[in-house]
Amino acid sequence: MSELEKLTAIVASPNKAFDAIRQRPTWVLPLALFFALNLLTQFVLYRVIATDANFDQIARAKIEWDARAAGLHPTQSGTETQIAALRQQRNYWYAEPLIGVPLSLLPMAVFFYILLRLVQAGTTFRMVFSVLCWSFVIYRGIGGVFIIAALLIHGAANFFPAPPEAWSPTSMAQLVSRSAASPNVYSAISKLDLFLVWWLAVLAIGFSRTSRSLSLKRSTALVATTEIAYLVFNAAGWLP
């Protein structure tokens, strides 16, 4: 099965896709797609949504939201310092995906590899990393396209900078007002998304099909338990 055929099969027939990945674990194409969509998202955010005219307003909204989530009360000077840092970040918008993508994928791959070793699933780190990259075609690939489209459709007037998951048109955050919950709880709610559920299902299939001793039932329980724990920690404010 070619790489492009795997890309189609991940959506239409994940069992077949992961059977092929088990024979030859690869990751270059989905990772390149992940990079490209992240770059496009950053371009839309920093060059289309956040303009010179509205940047300070958007930056203040983000700083205030982050401070509420952390239980802090930023000073005027501290806020100005953070705005300057965010403006610098905007100037180098293209660098964030180059750092953020590896920093998000590698720790996750290490975590799941250790977890799968503990349950004696029978897999390798390369295989786990490959499964993560290909399964992200659903969450960060197709889901990312929907986020970009939603940002462009809604425009700057209706944009709120945090949390990023709430930008998705299929996020549960679309049904809840930001003022109805604490920032941490709202952040957890925003992660409840149609594409998240789809990704978790594909991820469970991937781990099961590429491991020697992991049934789909055990894989699903493992992935679901991990995600539930993550959401609970997020809502409690125990995550950075």
How far are the Cα atoms of 3, 202, 218 from residue 205, in angstroms, in the given order?
18, 5, 10
**CA gap 224, 195 in Å, rounded:** 14
Domain that holds residue 85: 3-236
Supply angle C-alpha 142, 147, 150, rounded to 5.
130
CA–CA–CA angle 187, 173, 201 (5° rounding)? 85
Q: What is the pLDDT along the chain (240 residues), one digit of tens a residue?
A: 999 999 999 999 999 999 999 999 999 999 999 999 999 999 999 999 999 999 999 999 999 999 999 899 889 999 999 999 999 999 999 998 888 889 899 999 999 999 999 999 999 999 999 999 999 999 999 999 999 999 999 999 889 998 999 999 999 999 999 999 999 999 999 999 999 999 999 999 999 999 999 999 999 999 999 999 999 999 998 886
